[in-house]
Structure 1
Amino acid sequence: MANIRPLRRPAAAPAARGGAPRRPAPVLNAPARDYTYDGTFEGLLTVLFTIYDSKAAPNSIQPEAAVQGGLFAAPAPTETNEALAARVWEGLLNTMDPEARTRLYHVFLSEDADREMLIFRYVDLALRSNQDIAENYANADVRRVQRLAQMMFREKHRMEAFVRFEKTQDELYHATIEPDMDVLPLIAAHFTKRYADQRWLIYDRRRHYGLYYDLTRTDVVQFEAGANRKTTDISATVLDEREPLFRLLWQSYFDHVNIPERKNLKLHRRHMPLRYWKYLSEKQPREQRFVPIDNKRPPGEANLRLEKE
């Protein structure tokens, strides 16, 4: 069984504010705190609101599931408030353009160990600067945000290129992935548009959730705790009986377009890193060698081959 909920994304960026003077950022002069939140992006935005509302800078910001409190300080839990989160997300456009704001969401999805404090420092720098900080690469936090956003873009692009589906008996196309970063929210639109005429499920084995498209909309799917999370492949008993043929044909196509004389493994691994090969049908061991059917050859060619043999 699986729990399904609608896929949620940050709200669309409203038009940038025009010329209105910006209020100065509050001075964070209250005693610093260790904040905790529920691990969602909305929860982190609520923490940002709480920081400036209480004027208490963070010593740390940690998901509740991974709290590492100090020796003498008790963490301050922050309950997620979607209305406040939306207010913060919209308010960020007062200090940065939509592209820079999107980078912060990508930093969150990167799962970098310092992502919460990095996002806070970036936002705080933007609030206290009179100029756009997006290209202030003299600042280490700006460089780090840009670097993580670039890494996220590459991971998203590769997942869109390297995901391979298997068809089940009930006409569901299934794929299992294990990316370094949480890319599912970013690739949902691509697969929804590209495969709009078929039901599909992309499951992230590392994060234990997936995307399910039912021909009308794409939802987030979370399996119950008792589900088997160790296997990367669905059982062969539920695959469409033609699936092995589809894999063989794909492997044969790959073999036939390959040019051995132009092999460049170093370049090949740069464009298709080794860690992605487990998703690719063309990189799996060949179960049988592909042999062209003689009666599909041009007239006389089959007989000529037999004479040579």
Structure 2
Amino acid sequence: MSRSLTPLNHANQAGKPRAAVRPTAPLLTAPALDYAYDGSFEGLLTVLFSIYDRKAAPNSIQPEGAVQGGLFTQPLLVETHEASAARVWEGLLHHMQEEARTRLFHAFLSEQADRELLIFRYVDLAMRSSQDIAENYTNDNVRRVAHLSQQMGREKHRMEAFVRFEKTSDELFHATIEPDFDVLPLIAPHFTKRYADQRWLIYDQRRHYGLYYDLHRTDIVQFEPDTAAPRRSGGVSATVLDEREPLFKVLWQTYFDHVNIPERKNIKLHRRHIPLRYWKYLSEKQPRETRFEPIRNKRPQP
């Protein structure tokens, strides 16, 4: 499956004026079809173009690798067409605001089982409505898309806060994550801006791809699952780490221990803000290699 950091590999055109007249969506009068695509967001946009071009509503929209054909029918495989996808993506601004269009991209990245049909229903409703539907939460599809977008926003915020880099012997800063949703395209701008002076790689262990920044640009890099190579839990192989990395880890753990206030410990609140599933990637949550000793710098009482 091809991936891109932003839909159609173009930056979102925020602030683009909407058309004064809302075009009318064609009626879907042809027999419904099952559609298949390559699994990319551009591929799904091409499917939406094909639906209205053929005037055939979808019975199902499935990624090519997960197609489940019927006994007598096979899904129509729609090849990704960049120009058609761009036409759909830009055309959506005639029916919805930029923020609502972004929610559709978030819904796609959520990897929900029925995300394709959900996006189609949202788009079709927007195209047939005389007014903006973004706040029409009485509609189940609008409500679900908004909820998924909120979940993606929370996961994006957590990844930006909880990513911990390790330095390798070739001066590459590496981090491994395993988010609930496919958030790498959303966190790319944050890390590109914040760590613009060093090479880094953020690897999504669940989806086997990552973000690589080479001091000039950030690209998607794909990895094949490798179960043969020995790896430490939540990180790269210890054989490729910089020799000072263990010291950096100890220093960070020492800092964390000393700024902690035991008397104000609230485990329940702590787990609410930092869920357990993230702990294996946080240096401060790993077993201590040196025993913690509090700093004894208080003056004795007279």
The two structures have a TM-score, normalised by structure 2, of 0.92
**1:44 offset after TM fit, Å?**
0.1
- For the 8 Å contact 1:167–1:174, the answer to whether it is kept is yes
Secondary structure in 2 matching 1:32: strand
Alpha-carbon deviations, 1:101-145, whole Å to 9, x = none? 000000000101110000000000000100100000000000000
Deviations 1:79-106 (A, max 9, x none): 0000100000000000000000000000
Identical pairs, percent: 73
* Matched AA of 2:35: Y
Structure possessing the higher radius of gyration over alpha carbons: 1
How do residues 52-131 of structure 1 correspond to structure 2 at under 5 angstroms? 52-131=52-131
Aligned to 1:307: none
Residue 22 of structure 1 corresponds to 22
Instruction: State the secondary structure of the residue aligned to 1:80.
Output: coil
User: Match of 2:276, as an amino acid?
Assistant: L
CA contact (8 A) 2:36 2:61 kept: yes
**1:257 alignment partner in structure 2:** 259
Aligned CA-pair RMSD = 2.1
8 Å Cα contact 1:205-1:229 kept in structure 2:
no
1:289 maps to: 291
The one-letter code sitting in structure 2 at the alignment partner of 1:267 is: L
| Contact 1:248–1:290 under 8 Å retained in 2 | no
* Structure 1 equivalent of residue 247 of structure 2: 245
- Residue 169 in 1 paired to residue 169 in 2? yes
- Could you tell me how far apart the structure 2 residues matched to 1:214 and 1:58 are? 42
Alpha-carbon distance, 1:245 to partner:
0.9
1:239-276 CA distance string (max 9 Å, x none): 11111111111111111111111111111111001101
2:176 match: secondary structure: strand
Name the amino acid aligned to 2:102: T
CA separation of 1:291 and 1:263: change in aligned 2, threshold 3 A: closer
Gaps of 5+ in 2: none
Shift of 1:228: 5.0
Unaligned runs of 5+ residues in structure 1 are 305-309
- 1:9 paired with 2:6, answer yes
1:176 partner SS: strand
SS at match of 2:212: strand
* TM-score of the aligned structures, taking structure 1 as reference length: 0.90
Q: Is the 8 A contact 1:7 1:218 kept in 2?
A: no
2:33 counterpart letter in structure 1 = R
Q: Which residue in 2 is equivalent to 1:267?
A: 269
CA distance in 2, matches of 1:146, 1:293: 48
Is residue 137 from structure 1 mapped to residue 125 from structure 2 by the alignment?
Answer: no
